[in-house]
């Protein structure tokens, strides 16, 4: 009997780290569901992945803060592909504001997308993942594990700490069902999210890189390989953990 082709659902996969993870998982033969609030970018990302790796891929435009939409998505993926093996929660946003100046709306939106969105996505896909004894990888950040500088984003940092706690809790809750839940904590990585927190200001870029022992930004493909490992059977003994991939940033703190 041939092994069934695995299915991965990847949020935030229109660009950046999510797109790199979707590409890496497709290179390992998985069918891919690209989930992103950017519908056009998601469609283009799914098209490229399908073309490059010869796997099925489709895109769904969706706000991960919409819990009902995630429930409908889980039904749709099961209807189209019949199974879900991997869930990657990479969709995320960061505010760029000093805490004395940040608006309530901004704080609430960051919490809704990064923390609520991650938890409700895990819940929506858990029944399908229990069927396949699948794996989840959530996106935390070095900003959950150290006070980052010189930029300011208190809601971002708090939500990424919340993702670590949710990852641990869900790992313990779902281990008896055979589902593993881990998180990655990337260091500063070369994606568009950094443009919103100062990447175009040379002094800020220099300040980031000077704090990284490897003296560079992480590349999306490097983060993707760690995520793919955590999602794979090679990581069967690992659950409830948050793995930094940061060029030594946290080790030097
Ligand atoms: N790049 C870094 O330095 C870095 C470091 C640590 C953690 N992270 C985390 O990695 C993840 C990916 O970040 P990135 O660097 O690729 O950023 P990015 O901005 O390049 O990509 C984020 C993607 O998420 C999508 N998205 C945003 N809000 C959404 C929503 N409500 N619903 C659905 N999709 C939504 C965006 O459209 C985009 O395609 C994020 O969770 C981020 O916090 C990034």
C-alpha to C-alpha distances, 145 to 119, 233, 241, nearest whole angstrom: 19, 27, 13
Do 59 and 76 contact (CB within 8 A), yes or no? Answer: no
The answer, yes or no, to whether residue 29 has pLDDT greater than 70, is yes
Q: Looking at the annotation, which residues are catalytic?
A: 156
Task: Name the one residue in this structure whose structure tokens are 């443009």.
Answer: 195
Amino acid 187: pLDDT: 98
Average pLDDT over residues 147-171: 97
The answer, yes or no, to whether residue 98 has pLDDT greater than 90, is yes
Tokens at 156, concatenated? 């971002």
| All structural domains of the chain with their residue ranges | 7-245
Give the percent of the chain with pLDDT over 70.
Answer: 100
User: Would you give the distance in Å from CA 34 to the centre of its chain?
Assistant: 12
Average pLDDT over residues 67-83: 98
What is the average pLDDT value for the chain, to the nearest integer? 97
pLDDT band at 1 (very low <50, low <70, confident <90, very high): low
- Which one of 18, 94, 112 would you pick to mutate in the ligand 1 pocket, going by the greatest count of ligand atoms within 8 A of its CB? 18
Average pLDDT over residues 176-193: 98
Pairing of strands 86-89, 57-61: unpaired
Average pLDDT over residues 143-164: 97
The CATH H-level superfamily of 7-245 is NAD(P)-binding Rossmann-like Domain (3.40.50.720)
Do 5 and 209 contact (CB within 8 A), yes or no? Answer: no
| CB-count burial class (<10 Å; 0-12, 13-18, 19+) for 51 | exposed
């Amino acid at each position: 009997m041939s092994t069934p082709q695995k299915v991965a659902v990847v949020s935030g996969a229109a660009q950046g780290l999510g797109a790199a993870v979707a590409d890496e998982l497709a290179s390992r033969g998985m069918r891919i569901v690209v989930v992103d609030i950017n519908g056009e970018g998601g469609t283009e990302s799914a098209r490229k992945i399908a073309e490059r790796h010869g796997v099925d891929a489709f895109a769904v435009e969706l706000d991960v803060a919409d819990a009902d939409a995630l429930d409908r998505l889980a039904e749709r993926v099961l209807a189209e592909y019949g199974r879900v093996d991997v869930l990657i929660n990479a969709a995320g946003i960061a505010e760029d504001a000093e805490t004395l100046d940040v608006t309530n709306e901004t704080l609430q939106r960051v919490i809704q997308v990064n923390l609520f969105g991650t938890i409700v996505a895990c819940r929506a896909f858990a029944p399908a993942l229990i069927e396949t004894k699948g794996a989840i990888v959530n996106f935390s950040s070095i900003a959950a594990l150290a006070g980052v500088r010189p930029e300011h984003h208190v809601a971002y940092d708090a939500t990424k700490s919340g993702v670590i706690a949710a990852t641990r809790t869900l790992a313990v809750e779902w281990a008896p069902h055979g589902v593993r839940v881990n998180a990655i904590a990337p260091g500063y990585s070369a994606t568009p999210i950094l443009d919103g927190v100062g990447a175009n200001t040379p002094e800020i870029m220099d300040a980031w890189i000077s704090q990284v022992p490897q003296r560079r930004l992480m590349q999306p493909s490097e983060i993707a390989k760690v995520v793919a490992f955590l999602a794979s059977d090679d990581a069967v003994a690992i659950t409830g953990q948050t793995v930094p991939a940061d060029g030594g940033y946290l080790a030097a703190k």
